[in-house]
Amino acid sequence: MTAMLPTAARVPTAATSSERQAGKEHEPRQAAAPCRGRILLATLLAAVLVAAMDRAPLRAEPPRKVLGLDRVIAFTYIPTGYNPKQLRSVTFIEPTAPKDWQDWHSRGAVVAVGHTWFDLLRNPADKAVDILTHLDYGGNPRPVVSIDEFGFDFGGQTDQKSAAILRQTKRQRPDLALSVWEMRGPIPKVLAEAYRDVASLVMLECYVGDKKDYWWIATQVHAARMHGLLPKTIVALGLGTGGNPGELWARTPAELERQIRFVRLVAPESPGVGFFSAGATPELMARADALCSRFFELPSDGAALPDDARALARLFSGRHEKPILVGSPAWVEPNRSAADPGKLVEPKTMRAYLMNLGDRAAGNVQVRLRNPKDKGGDVFAAGAVAEVPPRGEAIAILPVTAKWNVWKTWEVEVEVPDGEVIVYRLQ
């Protein structure tokens, strides 16, 4: 099936992929001996239980301790002029001055020293490790660094270097807790493995304006769960206005509450939630604080959410017999140089992230990138993926054969035999 879709859409190749049916109840055959009867009955009950679990909604689980915290309520990049001491729910805050850890520690909160990727990824890995291990942590006996941000090229050279920096930093300074911001979409395998092994906290950048883009939250949560990361991963929502012109995030208390409730629905096993709040109003800060004071009391069944938001959650939590591939123009990046993310590896290739929601592998998947019609309409990169594993991911490596005339507004075309394709676009 081919998808050349200007907005989020779902297109089947044949019939719509159905959810896996639960096992039919029936009477066990009369056993010749009591022992055999008990075995057959136990087998039947186990099969019914597994089928029921396949169809059951996600349930909230008691979160594990992260950074020594029972829950992680993160307020980051506090608005200029706002006094964070007003916050009552906060348990994780960054960036702050190194010496501030003592004051926040007395309030039961963890402080992280913030550091951007700029000098880390533009220097050799050894130099980056030296930078992180020798930052000023203000004498904190439990230092935390928060790296803003990793997730550049879906497992390409820059992501591989990022993973190596994290591992080497932890080896050189085991007492240093690593918190990482993940950007640009689902976590690829190479970063997920490093986060699982050495990161203490992962924050998913899920900055959206309204429910049209809730897929951006659902897909990132799905990838984190797929890699076993959700017990130490939180969704970071954007408050107010973003840093780029025209970038609008949650701007009303009502929309903020919907997003927080959606996070509870799709990520009940997550230890909390976070906020990038530089563009927030005092009203939004107060509402976020009040909601997070009872975050784990909020229902995880989608109560009070719109029907389409609950349906989106079911798509990602349910079981599907046939392959369902999910992609997006936003999930395509060039292979970026390990020496500098601003430089591209030659010969140029595009790396397109694909997610399979189905219980069956998708084979012989064809992927093309095309300029929009008003920008030439030609294919500029194409390739194939031998297999996208069931309920797994794959990266399509697409050699660039022509000039791309747009950025992130290109068309993504995906063909998969006997399956479906969903292509999402950020609105």
pLDDT digits (tens, 9 = 90+) for 63-120: 569 999 999 999 999 999 999 999 999 999 999 999 999 999 999 999 999 999 999 9
The span from the CA of 340 to the CA of 24, in Å, is 57
User: Does residue 340 sit in the same domain as residue 223?
Assistant: no
Residues 163/196, Cβ–Cβ less than 8 Å: no
Q: Does residue 19 have a pLDDT over 90?
A: no
Burial class of residue 60, CB neighbours in 10 A (0-12, 13-18, 19+): middle
The span from the CA of 325 to the CA of 393, in Å, is 9
The answer to whether residue 31 is domain-embedded is no
pLDDT digits (tens, 9 = 90+) for 341-374: 999 999 999 999 999 999 999 999 999 999 999 9
Residues belonging to the chain: 427
The answer to whether residue 38 is domain-embedded is no
Listed in sequence order, the residues at least 6 apart from 421 whose beta carbon sits closer than 8 Å to its beta carbon are 1, 2, 3, 10, 11, 324, 325, 326, 327, 414, 415
Q: Which of 223, 220, 218 is nearest to 184 (CA)?
A: 220
Q: What are the tokens at 154?
A: 């879906």
pLDDT, position 10? 53
In three-state secondary structure terms, 237 is: strand
The DSSP result for 277-327, as a single string, is: EEE--HHHHHHHHHHHTTGGGS-SS-TTS-HHHHHHHHHHHS-BSS-EEEE
The answer to whether residue 44 is domain-embedded is no
Listed in sequence order, the residues at least 6 apart from 135 whose beta carbon sits closer than 8 Å to its beta carbon are 98, 113, 115, 145
Mean pLDDT estimate for the chain: 89
pLDDT digits (tens, 9 = 90+) for 290-342: 999 999 999 999 999 999 999 999 999 999 999 999 999 999 999 999 999 99
pLDDT, position 4? 37
pLDDT, position 245? 86
Q: Does residue 35 have a pLDDT over 90?
A: no
Which domain, by its residues, includes 76?
Answer: 72-317
User: Does residue 195 sit in the same domain as residue 300?
Assistant: yes
Among 18-27, 237-246, 313-322, 411-420, the minimum mean pLDDT is found in 18-27
Q: Does residue 26 have a pLDDT over 90?
A: no
* pTM, rounded to two decimals: 0.87
User: Does residue 159 sit in the same domain as residue 297?
Assistant: yes
pLDDT, position 427? 87
92-94 vs 72-76, strand pairing mode:
parallel
The answer to whether residue 41 is domain-embedded is no
The answer to whether residue 60 is domain-embedded is no
Residues 201/234, Cβ–Cβ less than 8 Å: yes
Q: Which of 317, 350, 379 is the last residue of a domain?
A: 317
CA angle centred on 53, ends 52 and 57, rounded to 5°: 105
pLDDT, position 164? 98
User: Does residue 233 sit in the same domain as residue 362?
Assistant: no
User: Domain containing 154 — which CATH number?
Assistant: 3.20.20.80
User: Does residue 416 sit in the same domain as residue 326?
Assistant: yes
Q: What are the tokens at 294?
A: 């009872």
User: Does residue 169 sit in the same domain as residue 288?
Assistant: yes
Q: What are the tokens at 353?
A: 């992230």
Q: What are the tokens at 17?
A: 């992929």
User: Does residue 254 sit in the same domain as residue 344?
Assistant: no
Burial class of residue 117, CB neighbours in 10 A (0-12, 13-18, 19+): buried
pLDDT, position 353? 98
pLDDT band at 136 (very low <50, low <70, confident <90, very high): very high
72-76 vs 349-356, strand pairing mode:
unpaired
Number of domains, the chain: 2
User: Does residue 287 sit in the same domain as residue 336?
Assistant: no
Q: What proportion of the chain, given as a percentage, has pLDDT over 90?
A: 84
Q: Which of 261, 288, 317 is the last residue of a domain?
A: 317
pLDDT digits (tens, 9 = 90+) for 139-180: 999 999 999 999 999 999 999 999 999 999 999 999 999 999
pLDDT, position 22? 34
The span from the CA of 368 to the CA of 352, in Å, is 10
Q: CA-based Rg of the chain, rounded to a whole angstrom? A: 23
Q: Which of 317, 345, 380 is the last residue of a domain?
A: 317
pLDDT, position 246? 87
Q: Does residue 31 have a pLDDT over 80?
A: no
pLDDT, position 217? 98
User: Does residue 289 sit in the same domain as residue 337?
Assistant: no
Q: Does residue 238 have a pLDDT over 50?
A: yes
User: Does residue 266 sit in the same domain as residue 202?
Assistant: yes
Q: Does residue 42 have a pLDDT over 70?
A: no
